[in-house]
Structure formats: structure tokens, C-alpha cells
Amino acid sequence: MRQMAQLAKAVDSRDPAVGLAAVASLRTLVDELEALHVDNARRCGWSWQAIADLLGVTRQSAHKKHRDDRRRGQR
């Protein structure tokens, strides 16, 4: 906990650039955690509908976002 306070003090928390970057960082973290838990649910045999219901999104959008396509890394 003390370490966290030190980290936070290293930057000016009222600086909009810091605040906005922090929110962007949090969004990426949420995306990564979502991917982690969707992977887990799929491994446990959950349907896309069940996953989407708990995420509060439609089945289509959950599937579109998380289906495992291997095309990442190609530009």
C-alpha cells in the first residue's frame, strides 16, 4: 500500500494528461481481465449467450470481441 502511495506521488494527479492516461490504462486493464475471464468461461464450457448475459452485452458483440481468431499481428 505504501508503495502505491509513492507511485501515485511520482506524478501530478491533477494533470489532465495523467488522469486521461490513467483512465486509458484502466480501460486496457479491463479489456485484458475480460479476455482472461471469458477464456476461463469458454474452457468451462459456457455458451456465448451465458457469457454475454453476465457481461451485460449482446451475444453477438461478446462473440465478435472474443472469438479466437489467429489473425492478430498481421498488418
> Where do contacts with other proteins occur on this chain (CB under 8 A)?
1, 3-5, 7-8, 10-11, 13, 17-26, 28-29, 31-33, 35-36, 38-40, 66, 68, 72-75
Q: What is d(CA 49, CA 35) in angstroms, rounded to the nearest whole number? A: 16
Closer residue to other proteins, CB minimum distance, 26 or 54: 26
CB of 35 to other proteins, least distance (A): 4
Rounded Cα distance, 72 and 8, in Å: 34
d(CA 6, CA 3): 5
Min CB(53)–other proteins separation in Å:
20
